[in-house]
Chain A
Amino acid sequence: MSAPDDVQPPRVRRQPTRRNLELLLLVFAWGLGVLGILQVTWATGETAGDSLWITAAVVAALSLAMHVVVRWKARYADPVMLPVATLLTILGLVMIYRIDVAAASRAELNGNPPPTPDVYSQLTWFTVAVILFISVLVLLRDHRILQRYTYTFGLAGLILLVLPLAPVIGTTVNGATLWIRLGGFSFQPAELAKILLTVFFAGYLVEKRDSLALVRTKVVGIGLPRVKDLGPILIAWLVSLGVLIFETDLGTSLLFFGLFVTMLYIATQRRSWLILGGLLFAAGAVLAYYLFGHVRLRVTVWLDPWAYADDSGYQIVQSLFGLANGGILGAGLGQGFPNLVPFANTDFIVAALGEELGLTGLVAMLLLYAVLIERGLRTAVSVRDPFGQLLAAGLSITVALQVFVIIGGVTRLIPLTGLTTPFLSYGGSSLIANWIIVALLLRVSDRARRPEVMTPSPDDAVTQVVRRT
């Protein structure tokens, strides 16, 4: 669309796209992955067979494909996010391969047949994730289109959230009902629901933030929102409690409530929402502690895992042993005992990485997450439309909360809750959901960093002005 004649084209300053830098960092990340795999094979005496080289080649091809699509469809997007997320995924793949090797050698020791390696199915999931990443960037030309479907997304998100409770397809694994099983495939719908609900929260808050922020009644010095405006936060609270009660999924319920409260705070810039959210969270936590055995158990084990080291605390105690064995510099890839922790490649992959890479490696990984989240929040600050701001902030906060909750749990900072570690953990739903998040963030950041030429909003056609002569 061209600007009207009487309007001078605004001064366009060349904004460096930094795509080459992105490519360089991607190659670097890939190289690190190959070095990691080689290190595992050297240390364990495994032979680096053809399948490993094929894996490395596939990862290279997938990363390159993503890079090319970003170059083509989101030229001005942030150059750091893609390589950082790729490196985290690659580190996850290396660690899953390493745990496969350990499991195989253990099975051999016990005379059992070797278990099927997980790394190849994780690679398949990564392929699916990359395909979805590419489709999001290609099909979604402007993130503001999502705003039109705010309530559709909200409804879909809620349905996905309660889907595991549905009779035939819902499945309970290890006490938590958060899976659905469809023809041999199992999927965690909550992972997708968190993206849909973030879109919904963003759209909803853009619409309602004025009334949520401005109208207040003063109670003991703090301006509290009207009772009528409290509705949404109460609904979010009840839904989170519902997830906790019926699906016994502590992590997801924490994630949703935390996400909603933070987004409310960002949208309205009122601290009273944080106070209210904190109070509701405390009330919910106390209630859950007294009402539900599994919550009480988590807290007891958190306070004193050594007393339960042989049963319910086994996992966390083994994880702490692993981290201690790793120390500052780590045991080295292939030289620790990460498979002693149950679920080493899903919930406890951070413990496994911490053992083999040490505190140094773990801090580097945390910094990678920090960089990713910072880029997301930075995007939120610099994009101009309020929906994009809230969307980018919300998506970054989902990742941040998830990293905090799971790594805090594994390192015994907070009670352990079952959440996956973004990008690292073995598991398709989580990997796919997090790559979609990266795609959406790149889409918004492309808009935010694009040099300002007339960028009309998609709903703008009405105000097109034809010059009269």
Chain B
Amino acid sequence: MSELALTLVRLGFLTLLWVFVLATVLVLRRDLRQPADARPLGRERRAPKAARPPRPAKVAKQQKVKGSRLVVIEGPLKGTIIPLENMQVTIGRAPDSTLVIDDDYASSRHSRIYPSEGSWVVEDLGSTNGTWIDRTRITSPTVLPVGAPLRIGRTTLQIQK
């Protein structure tokens, strides 16, 4: 092998090594540009996502359910709004709940709210301290009327139109 050829191979190897590195970096860059909600979000970034206004067109297409948003009116998360889109909402301390409440008086999977026959129904999922509508502890799935205070631990929620 001549000196020149060896030098060329040497530089070629380094160049290719760098091409590999740059190729991986390019993949990383493409990854960064992906829409943010294409991947599951961490618990800290959950609130702003939930605060997005509901899409009226979508709601209108489906069976009309009374009440369009769930609002926290008391407790550490006061002011948080969760748009209701004909899908169930889970509440609890577990990080994969729709509404994560960090409250010693709430269970990991405390309760869930789901649409049924035109209204929202709340069901206790075997929580320790119970799910309360106003001053009554619920024992079976119960219709949650618009405006009624739903108490979970130290948090009070309300369905609004």
Q: State the A residues within 8 Å of B (CB).
A: 4, 6-8, 10, 13, 15, 18, 21, 25, 28-29, 31-32, 35-36, 38-39, 42-43, 79-80, 83-84, 87, 329-330, 332-333, 335, 357-358, 360-361, 364, 367-368, 371, 374-375, 378, 381-382, 384-386, 389, 448-449, 451-452, 457, 462-463, 465, 468
* Contacting pair B23 A28 (CB below 8 A): yes
Q: Is the beta-carbon distance between A42 and B43 smaller than 8 angstroms?
A: no
How many chain B residues touch A (Cβ–Cβ < 8 Å)? 44
Interface residue stretch chosen among B4-12, B66-74, B129-137, B146-154: B4-12
A463 touches B125 (CB 8 A): yes
A329: chain B residues at CB < 8 Å are 10-11, 14
Known contacts A15-B38, A384-B40; A332 and B10 CB within 8 A of each other: yes
Report if B60 contacts A (CB, 8 A).
Answer: no
Partner of A468, one of B7, B40, B141: B141
| Cα separation A29 to B17 with both chains bound (whole Å) | 9
**Restricting to B27-45, which residues have a CB under 8 Å from any CB of A?**
27-28, 31, 35, 37-43
Chain B residues contacting A335 (CB-CB under 8 Å) are 6, 10
Interface residues of B in 93-121 (CB under 8 A from A): 95-96, 109, 112, 114-116
Mind listing 19 A-B residue pairs with CB under 8 Å? A25-B24, A29-B20, A38-B9, A39-B10, A43-B6, A79-B27, A330-B14, A332-B6, A357-B14, A360-B18, A364-B17, A364-B18, A367-B25, A382-B39, A384-B42, A389-B42, A448-B39, A451-B38, A457-B96
- Complex CA gap A335/B28 in Å reads 35
Q: A7-B114, A25-B23 are in contact. Are A448 and B40 (CB under 8 A)?
A: yes
Inter-subunit contact B10/A333 (CB<8 Å): yes
CB distance from A200 to the nearest CB of B (A): 21
A430 to chain B, nearest CB (A): 22
Q: Please give, as numbers and ranges, the residues of chain A lying within 8 Å of B123 by CB-CB distance.
A: 465
A25–B20 touching, CB < 8 Å: yes
Which of the residues A28, A360, A375, A448 comes within 8 Å of B20, measured between beta carbons? A28
Within the assembled complex, what's the spacing in Å between the Cα atoms of A38 and B10?
A: 11
Enumerate chain A residues within 8 angstroms of B57, measured Cβ to Cβ: none
Knowing that A28-B16, A368-B24 touch, tell me 5 more A-B residue pairs with CB under 8 angstroms: A7-B87, A43-B1, A330-B10, A384-B96, A463-B125
Smallest CB–CB gap between B33 and chain A, Å?
Answer: 12
**Central interface residue in B16, B39, B41, B43, by most chain A CB within 10 Å:** B39
Instruction: Indicate the member of A15, A357, A462, A465 with the most B CB atoms within 10 Å.
Output: A465
Contacts of A463 in B (CB 8 A): 109, 125-126
By a CB distance below 8 angstroms, the chain B residues around A360 are 14, 18
**Whole-angstrom distance between the Cβ of B44 and the nearest chain A Cβ:** 10
| Neighbouring B residues of A13 by C-beta, 8 Å | 35, 37-38
Query: How far is it, in angstroms, between the C-alpha of A4 and the C-alpha of B114 when the chains are bound?
Result: 11
A389–B10 Cα gap in the complex (Å)?
Answer: 41
> Which chain B residues border A29 with CB–CB below 8 Å?
20
* Residue in B closest to A387 when the chains form the complex, CB atoms: B95
Which residue on B lies nearest to A9, using beta carbons? B87
Q: Is the CB of B116 within 8 A of A364?
A: no
Give the residues in chain B near A449, CB-CB below 8 Å.
Answer: 39
Which single residue of chain B is at the shortest CB-CB distance from A468? B141
What is the minimal beta-carbon distance from B23 to any residue of chain A, in angstroms? Answer: 7
Q: Which residue of B lies closest to A18 (CB)?
A: B27
The CA of A4 and the CA of B10, in the complex, are separated in Å by 62
Residues of B within 8 A of A367 (CB): 21, 25
- Contact, CB under 8 Å: B27 / A21: yes
CA distance A80 to B29 in the complex (A): 12
Q: State which of B1, B16, B24, B37 has its C-beta within 8 Å of the C-beta of A42.
A: B1
Q: Which residues of chain A are near B160, meaning CB under 8 Å?
A: none
Contact call B11/A381, Cβ cutoff below 8 A: no
Q: Are B13 and A36 in contact (CB under 8 A)?
A: yes
Contacts of A36 in B (CB 8 A): 13
The CA-CA distance from A374 to B19 in the complex, in Å, is 19
Residues of B within 8 A of A4 (CB): 88
List of 5 A-B pairs having minimum Cβ-Cβ separation, nearest first = A332-B10, A42-B1, A364-B17, A463-B109, A7-B88
Indicate whether A42 sits within 8 Å of B38 (C-beta atoms), given known contacts A29-B20, A364-B18.
no
Residues of A within 8 A of B13 (CB): 32, 35-36, 39, 333, 357
**A39-B10, A332-B10, A385-B96 in contact; A84/B24 too (CB < 8 A)?**
yes
Tell me the complex Cα distance, A378–B25, Å. Answer: 14
Across the interface, which residues of A come within 8 angstroms of B141, CB to CB?
468
Q: How far is the CA of A35 from the CA of B27 in the complex (A)?
A: 24
Min CB–CB distance B35 → chain A (angstroms): 8
B86 is an interface residue with CB less than 8 A from chain A: yes
Question: Nearest CB to that of B16 among chain A residues?
Answer: A32
Q: Which residues of A contact B10 (CB under 8 A)?
A: 39, 329-330, 332-333, 335
Q: A361 and B25: CB pair below 8 A?
A: no
Q: With A and B bound together, what is the CA distance between A238 and B43 in angstroms?
A: 35
**What are the residues of chain B within 8 A of A452 when measuring CB–CB?**
39-40
Assembled-state Cα–Cα distance A202/B76 (Å): 28
A80 contacts B27, C-beta separation under 8 Å: yes
Q: How far is the CA of A269 from the CA of B103 in the complex (A)?
A: 19
A381 to B42, CA, bound (A): 7
